[in-house]
Structure 1
Amino acid sequence: METLLYISAVIAAVGAAGEVLRRAARGTLTTSRKVSRLVDDLVGEPPRPGLPDGRPGLMTRVGRIEGRL
């Protein structure tokens, strides 16, 4: 009977640790996506299929605005 209790406790502990790791990985992935988008906005994006002209970076866009003023 004690063996069954120990096995159940191990299964519960492994499941809980797995859930903690899953949530941490999910949060890290979400944060890395946001940082990637920020970097793309700051630096710009090169031309690619579906975006033939690319996207200018932040400094290029600010320079255009200053040129208009």
Structure 2
Amino acid sequence: MILYLLALNLIVAALGDSRCQHFFIDDYTDCDNSALKSGYFYNDQFKTCIRYEYCGSQGAEEKSFEDENSCRSTCK
């Protein structure tokens, strides 16, 4: 049982933050300019954080970081 829990812990640690596993961000810009927000997402293919604009309350907040530093430190 202990071996199972140890293996499960290693698997979860290896998965890391799901925000670091995206290749691109879906198009969340179908709104007027006053509702646009900006954030950063991690592009796993190029191993870099990229700034983008999105509409609030369309799901992009779950995949994004507020600033580039938090993106880099989480997904290094």
Please indicate, yes or no, whether the TM-score normalized by the shorter chain is above 0.5: no
Q: Larger strand proportion, structure 1 or 2?
A: 2
Of the two, which has the highest radius of gyration? 1
TM-score (ref. length: structure 2): 0.32
TM-score (ref. length: structure 1): 0.34
The structure showing larger relative contact order (alpha-carbon pairs under 8 Å, at least 6 residues apart) is 2
